[in-house]
Structure 1
Amino acid sequence: MQRLGLRFLRARWRVLVRLACWSVLETGQTFLTGYAPARALDEGFLAGRPATGLCWLGIAGLGVVVGAYGTARVYAAVAALVEPLRDRLVARVVARGVREGDGGALSGLTQQVEIARDTFAGLVMMSRSFLFTSVGALVGLLSLDPLLLLVVAPPLIAGLGLFAASLRLLARRQEAFLRADEALAADLGTVCPGLRDITATGAEQQIAAATGARIDAELRAARSLARWGVLRVAALAIGGQLPIVLLLATAPWLLAHGVTTGALVGALAYVTQSLLPALRNLVHGLGTGGSRLAVVLRRLLRDGSGQQDHGTDERDRPPSPAPAPALSLSRVTFAYGPHSAPVIEDLDLSLQTGAHLAVVGPSGIGKSTLTALVAGLLEPRHGTIRVYGRPANGPDRAGLRVLIPQEAYVVTGTLAENLGLLRPDPVPEAELLAAAEAVGLTPLLEALGGPSARVDPTALSAGERQLVALTRAFLSSAPLALLDEATCHLDATAEARAERAFAARPGGTLVVVAHRISSARRADRVLVLDCRHTAYGTHEELLDRSAPYRDLVGDWTPVPGGRSEPALALRDTDGLDAVAGPGLTGDGRHVVAHGPAGQVQAPGDLRDRGALGGEG
């Protein structure tokens, strides 16, 4: 990071020269702060020449005006130094966020980048001010009497030394605090959208305990940072306030050794009006802002793999074909609350690279929960989940799987930008067009005006948004694709085309949460989730030995036009209609009962998403 900083400053040496030149005026102002009053006293008022005294005070006032003009010009030079830094950080954060599907990227863009920008500007102003103010004050003390410099300089140097020694410790505490703050923000970002599900499943105590632990960790980090902040106070007391005490305590000795009264008053003016304020700004600004800037820049300048410059860590690259299964689950159990019945219990599953699995079952049985577990958005209560031999919730999971939910998102921008969100670099147009053709996006792409056409997300239908999201996932480098009803707004033909495209990706593995029997027929294997009779096999095998699967297949009835829709009754144990059929308007949302029979929630009010939604 230091090399990057020096390279950034060297590229803007002209700005630094201009900044230094305008700051020289501030040095002159500081010099006159003590020198002019000293001469006004010694050569003017104490010598019986008030006109001379007033003249020297006038010169001091003129110095203030000239210094203010220089300070105003300094702001323009600082802006020329700071804004390019902000632009580079924004570009890097955006690239990292869309490449990793980083949930903290928006926070990084709106909070950490602005912290870096404002802190860097403040540090430039404060460090520049302290440097030139100190030079002006020390030169002034030397010009008044060298003895004054001997009294003021040693405690000033000692205070600066203590402060410099504490910077590394403060930076570590600041980083711990920022890490705790980010962890809490990420936790709340997952919890808040899922409050409804948490309440419905009775998981309030479990979620409250986990969130409370995050809050306690941030509180401990904040207290540690505050305790070490005492060193800043000590450095300020030694370097800025002790010289005042020494000047007053040694005043008789100084006067006896030839220091004039005006020189002593001028020295006090240097310390109280220049050195002390400049040191206070430096200690508080650099102590808090400097350590924060170092931490924030270190976190922003790294890429998704943790490196700071360029290149991709091997962990983020899709693994080469290996004996390890593409997906393996071992005795996985998950429940939404400590006292809730498991949604998934003791599930074992193994998929080799290139497999195509369809997951079927009644609504609410746990299909979306399974994809969220594989994606690492949820953690199982028991058991292990591995993607290409690595933990599903490990730090390197971003490059291994991509989850496409039912509710697809499209951002404002060009179509090419939308399709390349999961790629670190712009997608070549030829590759983009080929992916659009494979998934079935080409008609929409041509209707919009090509890859460079700007997209208004509100103008797209739900099916068009799903096509954009599917093509985006198809272009990602993640070998495992999880389609959680990601084609529910498409007709059967478009759905088949998209699924076949994903199944045909070289080295790719596909898991589809199916809402049509045709999806299950296309898959190599079918997983039937049922509270009592979970089964796994081919379509034909399951028809022979799985009664729940036969019931599901029997309830999927073909309708004119080549589409197949689920009928209403899916053998729900309460006799409730669990899935919306063709006669119920809407966009594929489920009708779910949260109370006794007859209390059915209307479509459009409760969605099969919440904490599990989002692409990653």
Structure 2
Amino acid sequence: MRPRTRLRTALGRRTGAGRATRTRPFSAEQRLAGAGSPRHPLVRQGLRFLRRRPAVLVALALWSLLETGQTFLGGYAMARAVDAGFLAGRPGVGMGWLAVGAAGILLGAVGTGRSYAGVAALTEPLRDALVRRVVHGALGRPASGAVARLTQQVEIARESFAGLVMVARSFVFTAAGALAGLVSLSPALLPVVGVPLVAGLAVFAVSLRPMATRQRAFLAAGEELADELHATAAGLRDVVACGAEDRAGQRAAERIAAEYRAARALARWGTLRIAALAVGSRLPVVLLLVTAPWLSDRGVTAGDLVGALTYLTQSLSPALQALVHGFAGAGTRLTVVIDRLTAAPDPAPPPSPGQPEARVAGRAPAVELRGVTFAYGAGARPVVDGLDLTVAAGEWLAVVGPSGVGKSTLAGLVAGTLAPHAGQVRVHGVVVAGNEPARHAALRVLIPQEAYVFTGTLRDNLGYLRPSAAPATDTELRAAAEALGMAELVARSGGWDRELDPATLSAGERQLIALARAWLSPAPVALLDEATCHLDPAAEARVERAFAARTGGTLVVVAHRISSARRAGRVLVLDGAQALDGTHAELLRRSALYRDLVGAWDDGSQPPGTMGDPDGVDPVAAPGLAGDGGHVVAHGAVAQVQAARDLRDGRALGGQ
């Protein structure tokens, strides 16, 4: 039977406590996606989102002005071609004006094409923010419909937002060009076209709120249907075994019928779009024809009427149709989807009496493992076997051991990303249940080897783990930059509010940003899982000392350099069946494995420490000798090799 690992490490006597909370701050894009309820209008959030991207908006507006020019030239050139050209008996002049109109079409095409890049620059950050919000909510509080939100509704929001930006931009600039053209032809044309246009927009605006309500019901019915079908498919064998086919089919049929009713209700309200289009784009054509004699008495020429009809049929009517269909479909979908994606997750149920998760204990150890066992698979050999470990608040622990021995596994167990098969993990007295790391975000922060930097400003990245009620101030950001040695990176990035392009950052720069994000978080326990592997030794030392100096902070480092172990107050050596802890000097005397690690990390030079150990074995000065298993037997034939911890005796050298 494999011996159980028993280790009780009491590291210091300082205590500290974190404040339990389930909230977590977000970047500027996530604050846009923060409270999309009817009481928190999306218009205000959208304006805040757009104000953070002035350069993109200015470029988008400038390219869109080309469409205004196209619209203006289209109707005006047609009117002049008729009046000054063909009706005046000058076909050359008429063809010239038509050529001007054709040039305007080419000009508008260039503007439309350039506008797509600006729309993409607005759409992709929104999608990233929504994905982060959905994933965070699903990790923190698993809920039904999470898969549908991530795979379907986020894409609905992305496509709807892009479509709305395009149609709204096109309508505004097209309408501006058309109305300016009507005034330039004859002011008498403006009320004939403008009044029904405004009336059509009003009819459409009245229908938006009811349509949003029906759209919300339709999406909710879709989520319920997806959940029902998923549950039925997952338990199909049980359904058949229990003879519950009819009941399962009835429940699925009810969900399908509910979605069908919601779709029909949405379609009925959609008929108002037809009325809005009829009033706004068809009625002006009829009015122009009916009022032609009256307009003629007021100086409107035949060319002016042709130009007005051109504005209506070629510009205003298509733009209005795109606007109505876009906002009726994509607009209501976007409102409802963002409302559902950004709604606060259901609160966690209160802990039952006697549950240790009720609150963070004021004098509890920072990290505590009780008989923890973990293996990657039911039949696999345990990576961590019966481990007991206690780390007091404010201590600095380095974890070392051979590759694959379980150092990262230990970090994952403490962080809650892995669930122990046996035993219990506590962080400041709170039981870490595993596979729900977001619920314990206020207690610990894990920085892995591969750092993640998202699209957004440096301020957004560094303040990501801060509570929403206490965002990082400029003073705190400067303190983090000074403590971690990233002032040069801040200057090179253009300051806190300049948007970052993660693709342009080196691996070391991404690690510095992730480390500063963790340093600014309120979590009292920091877990560095080889999080400084892309930094040079001096930068690594500065980072580790900065984390160790955090007020009330506890630092656990999975070391990849011996210097990390030498700096730490205590060192934990993992070796499969055994685990030892102590200071660097103590472990050099007590642990043959630790001396081997020190020797390897020191490039093969003879490690410091006392020659010999209780087993009568000295470490090999330069690993890699033929047949060398890591130790040379002190007694017996020269160069006789035996495996570690399998020695025949532990006697003194005896002059041999």
Q: What TM-score do you get using the length of structure 2 for normalisation?
A: 0.51
Cα pair 2:145 2:224 within 8 Å, conserved: no
Match of 1:43 in 2: 84
Cα distance change of structure 1 residues 269 and 451 upon mapping to structure 2, 3 Å threshold: farther
Residue 189 of structure 2 is aligned to residue 157 of structure 1: no
The whole-number CA distance in structure 2 between the counterparts of 1:129 and 1:239 is: 16
Residue 146 of structure 2 is aligned to residue 105 of structure 1: yes
Residue 215 of structure 2 is aligned to residue 183 of structure 1: no
Equivalent residue letter for 2:348: D
3-state SS of paired residue (1:96): helix
Deviation at 1:452, TM superposition (A): 11
- By relative contact order (CA 8 Å, sep 6+), the higher-ranking structure is 2
Residue 271 of structure 2 is aligned to residue 230 of structure 1: yes
Q: What are the within-5 Å matches in structure 2 for residues 226-305 of structure 1? A: 226-305=267-346
Cα distance change of structure 1 residues 117 and 148 upon mapping to structure 2, 3 Å threshold: same
The whole-number CA distance in structure 2 between the counterparts of 1:272 and 1:103 is: 48
Cα distance change of structure 1 residues 452 and 136 upon mapping to structure 2, 3 Å threshold: farther
> Of the candidates 154, 163, 174, which is equivalent to residue 133 of structure 1?
174
Residue 9 of structure 2 is aligned to residue 6 of structure 1: no
Cα distance change of structure 1 residues 94 and 509 upon mapping to structure 2, 3 Å threshold: closer
Cα pair 1:236 1:279 within 8 Å, conserved: yes
Residue 91 of structure 2 is aligned to residue 91 of structure 1: no
Residue 73 of structure 2 is aligned to residue 115 of structure 1: no
The whole-number CA distance in structure 1 between the counterparts of 2:404 and 2:426 is: 25
Deviation at 1:201, TM superposition (A): 0.8
Q: What are the within-5 Å matches in structure 2 for residues 411-450 of structure 1? A: 446-447=404-405, 450=408
Cα distance change of structure 1 residues 94 and 503 upon mapping to structure 2, 3 Å threshold: closer
Deviation at 1:101, TM superposition (A): 2.4
CA deviations 1:441-500 (Å, max 9, x no partner) are x999953663699xxxxxxxxxxxxx97995475xxxxxxxxxxx95xxxxxxxxxx14x
The whole-number CA distance in structure 1 between the counterparts of 2:191 and 2:110 is: 33
Residue 316 of structure 2 is aligned to residue 316 of structure 1: no
Cα pair 1:354 1:503 within 8 Å, conserved: no
3-state SS of paired residue (1:101): coil
The whole-number CA distance in structure 2 between the counterparts of 1:154 and 1:56 is: 29
Cα pair 2:414 2:432 within 8 Å, conserved: no
Cα pair 2:127 2:154 within 8 Å, conserved: yes
The whole-number CA distance in structure 1 between the counterparts of 2:396 and 2:239 is: 42
The whole-number CA distance in structure 2 between the counterparts of 1:33 and 1:254 is: 21
Equivalent residue letter for 2:152: Q
Match of 2:250 in 1: 209
Q: Tell me the percent identity.
A: 52
Cα pair 2:413 2:425 within 8 Å, conserved: no
The whole-number CA distance in structure 2 between the counterparts of 1:70 and 1:23 is: 6
Equivalent residue letter for 1:164: A
CA deviations 1:401-431 (Å, max 9, x no partner) are xxxxx99999xxxx9xxxxxxxxxxxxx999
Residue 62 of structure 2 is aligned to residue 21 of structure 1: yes
CA deviations 1:313-371 (Å, max 9, x no partner) are xx33744xxxxx55xxxxxxxxxxxxxxxxxxxxxxxxx6479xxxxxxxxxxxxxxxx
Deviation at 1:256, TM superposition (A): 3.3
The whole-number CA distance in structure 1 between the counterparts of 2:161 and 2:427 is: 50
CA deviations 1:85-120 (Å, max 9, x no partner) are 111111111111122223432322221111111110
The whole-number CA distance in structure 2 between the counterparts of 1:148 and 1:267 is: 7
Cα pair 1:155 1:239 within 8 Å, conserved: yes
> Of the candidates 67, 79, 84, which is equivalent to residue 120 of structure 2?
79
Match of 1:462 in 2: none
The whole-number CA distance in structure 1 between the counterparts of 2:377 and 2:279 is: 57
Deviation at 1:232, TM superposition (A): 1.1
Deviation at 1:252, TM superposition (A): 2.6
Cα pair 1:26 1:71 within 8 Å, conserved: yes
Cα pair 2:141 2:348 within 8 Å, conserved: no
Match of 2:570 in 1: none
3-state SS of paired residue (2:248): helix
Cα distance change of structure 1 residues 101 and 449 upon mapping to structure 2, 3 Å threshold: same
Q: Which moved more, 1:127-136 or 1:292-301?
A: 292-301
Cα distance change of structure 1 residues 407 and 295 upon mapping to structure 2, 3 Å threshold: farther
The whole-number CA distance in structure 2 between the counterparts of 1:409 and 1:44 is: 85
The whole-number CA distance in structure 1 between the counterparts of 2:404 and 2:180 is: 72
The whole-number CA distance in structure 2 between the counterparts of 1:105 and 1:509 is: 23
Deviation at 1:255, TM superposition (A): 2.4
3-state SS of paired residue (2:408): coil
Unaligned 5+ segments in structure 2 are 1-35, 37-41, 359-373, 384-390, 434-656
The whole-number CA distance in structure 2 between the counterparts of 1:227 and 1:407 is: 57
Cα distance change of structure 1 residues 56 and 507 upon mapping to structure 2, 3 Å threshold: closer
Match of 1:168 in 2: 209
Cα distance change of structure 1 residues 229 and 68 upon mapping to structure 2, 3 Å threshold: same
Cα pair 1:353 1:507 within 8 Å, conserved: no
Equivalent residue letter for 2:191: L
Cα distance change of structure 1 residues 81 and 353 upon mapping to structure 2, 3 Å threshold: closer
The whole-number CA distance in structure 1 between the counterparts of 2:186 and 2:313 is: 18
Cα pair 2:67 2:174 within 8 Å, conserved: yes
Deviation at 1:219, TM superposition (A): 1.0
Deviation at 1:134, TM superposition (A): 0.5
3-state SS of paired residue (2:188): helix
The whole-number CA distance in structure 1 between the counterparts of 2:410 and 2:131 is: 22
Match of 2:188 in 1: 147
Residue 74 of structure 2 is aligned to residue 33 of structure 1: yes
3-state SS of paired residue (1:229): helix
Cα distance change of structure 1 residues 32 and 218 upon mapping to structure 2, 3 Å threshold: same
Cα pair 2:414 2:427 within 8 Å, conserved: no
Deviation at 1:302, TM superposition (A): 2.3
Q: What are the within-5 Å matches in structure 2 for residues 598-613 of structure 1? A: none
Equivalent residue letter for 2:285: I
RMSD: 3.7
Equivalent residue letter for 1:40: A
Q: What are the within-5 Å matches in structure 2 for residues 188-587 of structure 1? A: 188-305=229-346, 315-316=347-348, 318-319=350-351, 353=355, 446-447=404-405, 450=408, 472=417, 487=421, 498-499=422-423, 501=424
3-state SS of paired residue (2:280): helix
Deviation at 1:249, TM superposition (A): 1.6
3-state SS of paired residue (1:167): helix
Cα distance change of structure 1 residues 299 and 151 upon mapping to structure 2, 3 Å threshold: same
Cα pair 2:277 2:324 within 8 Å, conserved: yes
The whole-number CA distance in structure 2 between the counterparts of 1:248 and 1:14 is: 45
Match of 1:522 in 2: none
Cα distance change of structure 1 residues 137 and 505 upon mapping to structure 2, 3 Å threshold: closer
Q: What TM-score do you get using the length of structure 1 for normalisation?
A: 0.54
The whole-number CA distance in structure 2 between the counterparts of 1:190 and 1:443 is: 44
Count residues in correspondence.
366
